[in-house]
Each structure stands twice: as structure tokens, then as C-alpha cells.
Structure 1
Amino acid sequence: MHAPPDPLDTLAPRLPSPLQEVEDERFTRRGVRLLLKRDDLIHPALPGNKWRKLAPNLRSVAETGHRRLLTFGGAYSNHLRATAAAGRLLGLRTVGVVRGEELAGRPLNPSLARCAEDGMLLHFVTRADYRRRADPAFHEELRARFGECAVVPEGGSNAAAVRGCALLGEELRGRTDVAAVACGTGGTLAGLAAGLSAGQQALGVAVLKGGFLPDQVRRLQLEAFGGTRGRWRVEERFHGGGFAKVGAALSDFAADFAERHGLPALDEIYVAKLLYALTRLTAEGAFRRGSTVTAVVTGQSWPPAP
């Protein structure tokens, strides 16, 4: 019996992702070198940490023979879009359980419309039901409704995904002092920190409020590696009011940063918050002179929530 095709080969990612130096006086005047880890260039449909987290899960789905994948996300979830795209490319059926029953029957926003175009079946649930997204009993209810399927958690963050993200840290060994990433569910930070070498530090910039990320990262590292790994910390001050909350000042910063450095429009939900945080932290003297800071560009631009 032939082994199923490896999604890593089928989807042909660009790995390792490029590392780009940018000259920005807000960093250079503080003696800080800024690099961009261009994970947004890994794959046009599954950029950044979505590729790194989904690929191990897609391999597991292929190995088990499942042809349907069910996962969870909000109305502007990058993870849902990436899962839908992967399903289209690999011939998998996908189901997206979307937080917010009030969205059902309304015109789809551009993010969810892309999911639907890629063949994802969207199932809107109440916020109370969505809080059950990690409950095995809820998963069985969903399987009874949609048929046998593999279930991937919100954001794709599970032990397999964390181990996949450790490769990101390994690609940065010896290249930086601090590796920074925007954090939603904590899976990328958990893996990044584990992959770095001794003496390097991972910094997670929270894009949601709530203060839950440190516990989440520790839990994910325990599940993936049996204990904590690497040096890491979470910066909670730059979420801008919550997930997908984007004010005029952040939009102006994102547009200016992209223009200064010849970059495509920045993803404002994650990447702009990360770069804004690093700019502020540098001004505050958080990084020693002579150090190198790397910002992981985890995704592409997408319209933020209103």
C-alpha cells in the first residue's frame, strides 16, 4: 500500500522563508538592527504561521484517511481562510465553525466569502456554544451533524502545530537576539521559543486582551514537548482594544511602514500590531544597543473587522 502524499510536497512551500533587513531610523538611532522573517512568502494561499501550524495537521489527516476537516474561528479568522484554501488545494472537504450566530443569514464579509469560495461549509454557532470548542462532547455533536471528520482546534494550535512552529525558531538560530511574533492563540510563540538556541529570546505580542496567553503557551509546550522550552515572554500592551480592533493611528503606522520599506500592505490585525509594538519598545529602550530584533511577518493584508 502506498503512503498518502505528503501535504508538504503537494503544496510546495518556500522554506526556509527569506530574512530581510530593513533600515529604519526609529531602530538604528537606538543601535538596534531590525530584520523581517518573511513567512508571508511561504505559500500564496497558506502564508506564514498558518502554513507552519496547518502542515503537520494536514499530514495527520492524510495519514488517517479522513477526507473532511473541521475547525473553528471568528468572522475574520486567518486560520479559517488558510484551512479552506488547503482543502481546495488538497481535495479535502472543510467545515468552519464560526463564532457568532447573529452572523448567519447576513452577507458574508470578504474573509468568510473567500472561505466559501474555497469550498468551506460555514456553520455559525452562538458564542456560548463556541466556548465549547475544546469539548470532545461538542466535537461529537458536530460529527453527528457533518459526518466523520478530523478536528483541528481554533487557530490550528495543538501539539503537532507547536512542533511545526519549532522549525521557525530553528531557521533563526544564530541570526537574531530577539524573535518577535504576534500572538492570537499562542501556538506559534510556543514553537518558536522551543526552536531557538540558548541565549535567544522569543517575544509574543498579544493581539487579544485577556491575559491568558502565558498560561496557554505553557500548556501548549507541555503538550508538545512535555515541559517548557526556551526563553520567552508576552507583551500585553499593544492589542489596541482587542482582536481585529484597528484604529486610525495603527492604520497610519502600517501604511507608513510599508511605504518606507517597499513592502506590500501590512496585515493590520497581527503584523502591524507587532511592528508598532517593536517600534514602541525600541523607543523605550527595551532592547540593548547592538542587538538584532527579528519580526516574524506571519500573514498577508486583509480587511479588518469594522
Structure 2
Amino acid sequence: MLLPPSDWLPQAPLQSLDLDWLHAAGIEVAILRLDQIDPLISGNKWFKLVEHLKAADLAGAEGIISLGGAHSNHLHALAAAGKRLGFTTVGLLRGHAQDTPTVRDLQAFGMHLHWLGYGGYRARNESGFWEPWRAQYPQLHPVPEGGGGLPGALGCSAIRQQAVAQLKTLGWDDFHGWWLACGTGTTLAGMVLAEAGKHGVYGALAVPDDHGVAPQVEAILHEAGISNSTYELLDASRGGFAKVDAQLLEFIAHTEQASGVPFEPLYTGKALLALKQQVEAGKFARGTRLIFIHTGGLQGRRGFDGRC
């Protein structure tokens, strides 16, 4: 069995985000703390994994093989889940062998690693990529990078349910939209599917356009039979994936001090700074209520040598 006990469902608190720039604009933001659902299987990663695990279990697989980088939150959560639930995990990693806190954790959790180089990793979306890996690991179920695809998106429907169930604790009867960081676009696609047009979904791109987030989102929605949807992608990459600058780090430090909420610089920090910039540019009218999804990823902070 690859699945946890049926009564195990991670719960994330919804709380007000009290920041001066929101007060000045007359905008309310609640933050869904997915970073608090579990010490290791954190953030949106479990939600993206759960449908893949169900498919693997149904197929009689002994475990999961998937992809990511040397700081991958997805592989970290997958390896932790494999160790906790007792299934085999294999990771296909971008680049050449690196010693990072994340990689050390992957190894400690029992994940077997293969380093693909950069060219080999770029081939992950080509037809035939999985054939040699299926031959080498016929007992494992392949999962796309980041837990992507339609199964990953469908697992994110529970994120909406958790937030909506807590609106009354904030004194809200409704809200206007969601704001979240996007790495593959899977969680955003899942929120679009779960919303079915009721509320807008805003994705702050933590990666540049050439990472193909937009076509990945459209592919998921098309597979789900959705042709008209309400979402918007905005650039928050600050010049490229994993690009970190002094303004971003200063913003994270100030926000953490003001709110008591931890952020990291690759996804959640970039997403919140992009929201601040859009708020100050007048994108949202006074009285707007948004839910910011804290997608976790805090384990990745360790790769920044105390800079945040």
C-alpha cells in the first residue's frame, strides 16, 4: 500500500495577513498555511501527490519514480512520504551530482538518485523519455516533475475546500480570488478546476516564460475538458528561476518580522512581493479579499546559506 491511513488528511489553518501595504490599499488577504500541514510532507506537495499515489496503488506499483532538482520540494516530500509509508522512491535529478541539504535528506529518506545532466533533464518532456526508466524500474509508477499533470491538479481540490471551510473564522462570507506561486502550474490548474469559474485565480510565475508553465496549465485544463477558465499568470521570476536579489531578501525579512509567517525566496517570497507590486499599481479595488496560498517549500531555504 502506498497510501496513508484513510483518516489522515492534512489540515492547514487560514489566517489574516496583517501588513501595512495591504491596510494602505484597503485590501484584505488571508493566508492558507499549507506550510503547517506536516513537518516533512509540506505545502502543496502532498495534494499534488495524492492522486498519483492512488493511481500507483491501483496499478500495484511498489513505489514512485519522479524528477526534480537538487533543492526540489517535490522530491523532498515524495522521499519523506516513501520513508513514512514504506514505498520505494527513485529520483531523476537535473544537472550533475551536488551536495545540498535537500539531496542529503533524499538519501537519508532512502530515495535512489540518478543525475541526468542538464541536457538529459531537458529531454524529460520528449516522447520516449520514460521508456528506459520503465524498463529499469518496471515496478515503479512514473510521476511528472513537480507531481504535475491532471492527477496532480485534481489532488489540489482539497486546498479549496480547506480554505472555504474556514472563511467564517475571519468574518468573511466570500472572497474575490486566489493568489499563489507557480513553478509548474499544477496547483494553479487544480484551483481553476476546483473553482469552476466562481473566483479568479492569479498565478505568480516563479520561473521565466521558457519553462512552459502556460502551455502546461492549458494542457491540464484541456485534458479535463475545460475550454473557458478564469485565471491569470503574472511574471514574478525576477529574471529567472532561482534568481534572488537584495530587494527580495529584504522584503522577506521585513514581512516575516511584521507577520510572523516564514517565507522562502524561490516561490512564496516572490509571489508575495509580486502581489505587493500589483496592489500598489492599483490592480485590485479597495475592499478586495484574496486568499494567498502558502505553498510551503521552506526546506529549500537551507540552500541560501542564511541569506533569508
One fold, TM greater than 0.5?
yes
How far is 1:274 from its partner?
0.8
Q: CA 1:8–1:260 in 2, change beyond 3 Å: closer, same or farther?
A: farther
Q: How does 1:284-303 map to 2 (within 5 A)?
A: 284-301=281-298, 302=300, 303=302
Could you tell me which runs of 5 or more consecutive residues in structure 2 were left unpaired when the two chains were aligned.
165-172
Q: How does 1:1-306 map to 2 (within 5 A)?
A: 4=1, 6-7=3-4, 9=6, 12-15=8-11, 17-100=12-95, 103-104=96-97, 106=98, 108-135=99-126, 137-173=128-164, 175-196=174-195, 198-210=197-209, 212-223=212-223, 225-228=224-227, 230-236=229-235, 238-263=236-261, 265-301=262-298, 302=300, 303-304=302-303
Question: How many residue pairs are counted as aligned between the two chains?
Answer: 294
In structure 1, C-alpha distance between the alignment counterparts of 2:42 and 2:258, rounded to whole Å: 23
The residue type equivalent to 1:256 in the other structure is H
Q: CA 1:232–1:170 in 2, change beyond 3 Å: closer, same or farther?
A: farther
Could you tell me which runs of 5 or more consecutive residues in structure 1 were left unpaired when the two chains were aligned.
none
Asked if the contact 2:100–2:303 (Cα under 8 Å) also holds between the matched residues in 1, the reply is no
After TM superposition, the score normalised by the length of structure 2 is 0.89
After TM superposition, the score normalised by the length of structure 1 is 0.89
Instruction: Give SS of 1:280's match.
Output: helix
Q: Percent identity?
A: 31
In structure 2, C-alpha distance between the alignment counterparts of 1:219 and 1:166, rounded to whole Å: 18
In structure 2, C-alpha distance between the alignment counterparts of 1:219 and 1:67, rounded to whole Å: 28
Instruction: Give SS of 1:132's match.
Output: helix
In structure 1, C-alpha distance between the alignment counterparts of 2:53 and 2:33, rounded to whole Å: 22
Asked if the contact 1:245–1:304 (Cα under 8 Å) also holds between the matched residues in 2, the reply is no
Instruction: Give SS of 1:40's match.
Output: helix
How far is 1:172 from its partner?
4.2
How far is 1:9 from its partner?
2.9
In structure 2, C-alpha distance between the alignment counterparts of 1:144 and 1:33, rounded to whole Å: 52
How far is 1:8 from its partner?
5.9
RMSD: 2.0
Asked if the contact 1:194–1:229 (Cα under 8 Å) also holds between the matched residues in 2, the reply is no
How far is 1:304 from its partner?
4.1
In structure 2, C-alpha distance between the alignment counterparts of 1:66 and 1:148, rounded to whole Å: 5
Asked if the contact 1:49–1:299 (Cα under 8 Å) also holds between the matched residues in 2, the reply is yes
How far is 1:89 from its partner?
0.9
The residue type equivalent to 1:181 in the other structure is L
In structure 1, C-alpha distance between the alignment counterparts of 2:9 and 2:41, rounded to whole Å: 9
Instruction: Give SS of 1:44's match.
Output: coil
In structure 2, C-alpha distance between the alignment counterparts of 1:175 and 1:272, rounded to whole Å: 26
Q: CA 1:74–1:305 in 2, change beyond 3 Å: closer, same or farther?
A: farther
